[in-house]
Amino acid sequence: MIEKIKRGLKNNLQKINPWKKQRLNISPERQNSPVGLCLIVPASALKNLGEKEPINISNIERLIDNASYFLCTDIDEADDIFERIETTTEDIKTVSEQREVYVRINISDGEDMIGKKIPYILKRNLPHYGSANIIELACLKYLSISGLEKFNRI
């Protein structure tokens, strides 16, 4: 009798586990793959923000609102894009407030943001958990289409 109960429980657990795996459908790669949010904003939008620093969701939303160009993509493509953009070594804190600046933010768990072409939808898909860090800040040498072809223009 006890053996029959054990088999029944085992069968029930086997039925439940596949359902749980299917329902959750979370892979380790998805959880650990940050995205690169690339923005072109005026220097005035970078108040109190610095390179290699964490950034909160409200500041990311503010930067998106101030962006003239934006793109959210995987980390490798974000690296390639930065290499194609012409930047200067000028200190961002000393340039004109209207000067265009490239900002790259790595966001963990932001896969739902990749490929979004409308700022509102990009902001709506910002994860409210995880972490975000400013990876690159650089003044643009020229605000020309060169290097910005993959960006979405606002």
For 10-47, what is each residue's pLDDT tens digit? 555 444 433 333 333 434 444 558 999 999 999 999 98
Pairing of strands 100-107, 69-74: unpaired
> Which whole-number Å values give the CA distances from 58 to 9, 45, 81, 91, 118, in the listed order?
49, 13, 25, 24, 18
pTM as predicted: 0.77
Q: Which residue is associated with the tokens 């072109």?
A: 40
Rounded Cα distance between 90 and 88, Å, is 6
